[in-house]
Amino acid sequence: MLELDSISCGYGAFRAVHGLSLTLRAGEITGLLGANGAGKSSTLMCVAGHVALQEGRILFNGEDISLLPVARRVHAGIAIAPEGRRLFKDLSVEDNLRIGGLIHPAADFRRDRDRVLDLFPRLAERLPLPAGNLSGGEQQMLAIARALMARPRLIMIDELSLGLMPKVIDLCYQALERLRSEGLAVLLVEQNTERALAVADHICVLESGRTVWTGSAALARGDATLASAYLGLH
């Protein structure tokens, strides 16, 4: 579904990611791992169109989207739950969802809303509340739900479990597995490497913007050198 063909991206003359190649298929979860500053968020934001692509190509369902503006990428089926969630905190939960679905006819809103509430039933009881009043876990659910309102084929989630309680992390991961079973491609950035390794089909490990490991998560789980050198696992 998504092919990153040797992409480099960054800010002005600064290069945050060097020559990353990655293929994502429908119905698979890919974990993008690495320490702080490795270039994970920059990669996601580059695919979404917010960070400048400096070299290489981005193909989405075979179409070269490298030069498409953000809105066209959303219409093509790419959505992001960004780092820090970036919710509209003074607006209600329902209005945050409405904004996520603005690219579709207003008449579709209820159906799309009910579909994401089925995935995150907790949000159903909180629809009239300001998003800023939700717990951290509920805010993360809302960020994912808002992204899903656009009916993406690829969803990118930055730091899914950061600061959340284990029970809530479980709920978010269950939702991800359901999205995978529905045929979405998921690109997941995680500091919680054990969680990501447990759920992902493939992983890619970045260090200082360069790819140090890419392959199946099953292989990664069995690679002791990778686990201790780059993933902080023993």
DSSP 130: B
Residue among 232, 221, 192 at smallest CA distance from 32: 192
Q: To 5 degrees, how large is the angle CA 218–CA 222–CA 225?
A: 130
- The CB-of-208 to ligand ATP minimum distance in angstroms stands at 8
Provide, rounded to whole angstroms, the least separation between the CB of residue 164 and ligand ATP. Answer: 15
Pairwise CA distance, residues 115 & 71, whole Å: 23
Q: Which is nearer to ligand ATP, 16 or 184 (CB)?
A: 16
Least distance in angstroms from the C-beta of 106 to ligand ATP: 34
φ, ψ (nearest 5 deg) of residue 149: -60, -20
CB of 41 or CB of 96, closer to ligand ATP: 41
Is the Cβ of residue 36 or residue 225 nearer to ligand ATP in the bound state?
36
CB of residue 8 to ligand ATP, shortest distance in Å: 12
Structure tokens at 218: 């099953």
Q: Whole-number minimum distance, CB 79 to ligand ATP, in Å?
A: 18
Angle at 71 between CA 172 and CA 87, to 5 degrees: 40
Given strand 52-60, what is the order of strands in its sheet? 14-24, 2-11, 52-60, 63-64
Residue with tokens 């809302």: 142
| Minimum CB distance to ligand ATP, residue 171 (Å) | 22
Cα angle value 198/215/60 (rounded, 5°): 100
State the minimum distance, in angstroms, from the CB of residue 12 to ligand ATP: 7
Binding site for ligand ATP (CB under 6 A): 11, 14, 16, 34, 36-42, 83
Residue type, 214: T
Contact 144, 184 (CB under 8 A): no
Closest CB to ligand ATP among 208 and 216?
A: 208
Of 10 and 137, CB closest to ligand ATP: 10
Cβ nearer to ligand ATP, comparing 97 with 144? 144
- Is residue 7 within 8 A of residue 67, CB to CB? The reply is no
User: Judged by CB, which is closer to ligand ATP: 46, or 148?
Assistant: 46
d(CA 231, CA 27): 25
